[in-house]
Amino acid sequence: MTEPCMKVNLAGVELKSPVVVASGTFGFGREYGQFYDLSELGGICVKGLTAQRREGNPAPRIAETPMGILNSVGLQNPGVDAFIAEELPFLRQYDVKVIANISGNTPEEYGEMCEKLSAAGVDMIEVNISCPNVKAGGLAYGTKPELAAEVTHMAKSHSTVPVMVKLSPNVTDITEIARAVADAGADALSLINTLRGMRIDINTRRPILKMNTGGLSGPAVLPVAVRMVWEVAQAVNLPILGMGGVSKADDAAQLMLAGASAVAVGTACFADPYTPVKVRDGLKELAQAQGLESIAQLTGGVRPW
Ligand SMILES: Cc1cc2nc3c(=O)[nH]c(=O)nc-3n(C[C@H](O)[C@H](O)[C@H](O)COP(=O)(O)O)c2cc1C
C-alpha cells in the first residue's frame, strides 16, 4: 500500500505534516529539542513575543483542573529583538517552519513587530489578539470586531510573510470576529486560545492563581474547539490552524474534519513531550486505514446531520 501524503498547505506555507506545536507550550524549542529532532514537526509556533521583554505575571500561575490546566503566565518572553538575535538562529538549524506569535499593546506595536519578524525571515506570523492574561491589548482586540480588524490590517500592511490571526473563544459569536479579520486581509486563522476560568481554594478562600483568573486549556476544551473550528470554517474562506485539547490523533482528526488544514498540540506536550510526533504518526495510520491518499483530504470532511 502506498504511504499517504502528510504534507499540508497553510496559506501558502507548506508543512511537511499537519502537526505543529502551540504557542506558549513549547518555548522556543530548546528544551523539547533534547527529546527529539525538531525537524520531526510540521511547524513551531513560538512563545508569544512582545515589543519589549516581559517577566510575566506573579506565581502561582498554573493550576490543574479536571482534564486540563488553568494558566496566567502573561506572555513572559525576552522581547522580539532578543528572539531574532538569539532564538531564531537556533530554530533555523532545523527543517521546520517557524511561526512567530506576537502580542502588542497598540496596533502600531503589532506593525513594528511584523516588520522586524518579516525581515528576520520567519515563515509566518501568528497575531495573538486573544490572550486572556494581560491587562493591555490582549483579549480586548479579540473580542471587538473593529479592533480585531484594525490589528489585522496593521499586521498585514507591515508583513511580507503570511499573517494568521489567533481567535479567542471568549466571545458569544466567534464567526463575527472571524469575518472581520478575514475582511481585513488575514491569510489564515488559528483557534482556539484558552477559555477564561477560575479555581478557588475552599479553605483559604483564595483563588489558586495569583491573577485570580486564567485560561483553560487541555482535553477539557476539545469539544469547544471542534465546534468553533466548524463554525468558522463555514463562515469564512480561509485556511485554519485548529487547536485546543489535542492529545491524540483522533482529536486532531476531529479538528481537521471540522475544517482545519493543520492542528497544533499545546498543553499535552507538558505531560508527554513526544505527543506531537505521536499525533502525526497516528494521523498517518488513520489516513492509511481510511484509504486516503493525502491527510489533507480530512479537511472539512465532516458530514453534519
Ligand atoms: C502555559 C500556556 C501559555 C500560553 N501562551 C500563549 C501565548 O503566548 N500566545 C498564544 O497565542 N497562545 C498561548 N497559549 C494558548 C495555546 O497556544 C493554545 O491556544 C491553547 O492552550 C489551546 O490548546 P491546548 O489545549 O492544546 O493547550 C498558551 C497556553 C498555555 C497552556
Give the residue numbers annotated as catalytic, written as ranges.
131
User: How many residues in the chain?
Assistant: 305
Rg (CA), the chain: 18
- CA–CA separation, 173 and 298 (whole Å): 25
Residue 265 has a CB neighbour count (10 Å cut-off) of: 27
Q: Ligand 1 center to residue 269 CA distance, Å?
A: 11
Among 102, 208, 237, 83, which residue's Cα sits nearest to residue 163?
Answer: 102
| 207 CA to centre of own chain | 27
Q: What is the pLDDT along the chain (305 residues), one digit of tens a residue?
A: 689 999 999 999 999 999 999 999 999 999 999 999 999 999 999 999 999 999 999 999 999 999 999 999 999 999 999 999 999 999 999 999 999 999 999 999 999 999 999 999 999 999 999 876 665 556 778 999 999 999 999 999 999 999 999 999 999 999 999 999 999 999 999 999 999 999 999 999 999 999 999 999 999 999 999 999 999 999 999 999 999 999 999 999 999 999 999 999 999 999 999 999 999 999 999 999 999 999 999 999 999 99
- Ligand 1 center from residue 42 Cα (angstroms): 17
- Overall number of domains in the chain: 1
The answer to whether residue 305 is domain-embedded is: no
Angle between helices 174-183 and 222-235 in degrees, nearest 10: 50
Cell of 51: 515589543
Between CA 222 and CA 31 the distance in angstroms is: 26
Any domain includes 2: no
Grid coordinates of 34: 533534547
CA 153, 159, 161, 167 dihedral sign is negative
**Top mutation candidate among 193, 196, 246, 275 for ligand 1, by most atoms within 8 Å of CB:** 193
Grid cell in block for residue 92: 533555523
Domain-located, residue 202: yes
> Closest by alpha carbon to 190, among 131, 260, 134?
260
Specify if 1 maps to a domain: no
| 66 within a domain of the structure (yes/no) | yes
**Quick check: is 3 in a domain?**
no
Task: Please report, for the domain that includes residue 261, its CATH number.
Answer: 3.20.20.70
The secondary structure of residue 263, as a DSSP letter, is E
Residue 131 forms part of a structural domain: yes
- Structural domain includes residue 304: no
Q: 112 lies in which domain range?
A: 8-298
